[in-house]
Amino acid sequence: MPATDTLARLAEVIESRKPANGGDPESSYVARLLHKGPDAFLKKIGEEATEVVMAAKDADHGGDPKKLVGEVADLWFHSMIALAHYGLTPADVVAELQRREGLGGLEEKAMRKVRGREGGE
């Protein structure tokens, strides 16, 4: 099954947990975070990003690299709650990655610098 299908299905569940859609903070973790608002889920994103870094550093020191999978899943999941709150979907992120396909990071950085200079003239 394509990974994007899984992300789309999860996005639908998250959407259904919004307060406006009847999400119940008593019975749903997602509804609880959405009910608490951006400070709550943005804090979780910061924590999960730190855990990704820590899992990678552990792997550098002989730990199991597979632990990264769980930490990245937590980061993606909480980022998807933020996307939903701001009216965005994983499809928007995939579209952005598709737009970037074939455009090297160094090339893109050089283009930004040229645009910056032109903007400053």
Q: Tell the residue number behind the tokens 């992120």, with chain if given.
A: 93
How many helices (DSSP H) and strands (DSSP E) are in the chain? 6, 0
Residue 31 near ligand PRT by CB under 6 A: yes
List binders of ligand PRT among 8-27 (CB under 6 A): 10, 13, 17
Helix (H) or strand (E) holding 57: helix 38-60
Looking at the Cβ atoms of 50 and 100, the one nearer to ligand PRT is: 50
List binders of ligand PRT among 46-105 (CB under 6 A): 74, 77
User: In 61-100, which ranges are continuous DSSP H helix?
Assistant: 67-85, 90-100
Looking at the Cβ atoms of 25 and 63, the one nearer to ligand PRT is: 25
State the residues that interact with ligand PRT by CB under 6 A: 10, 13, 17, 28-31, 74, 77
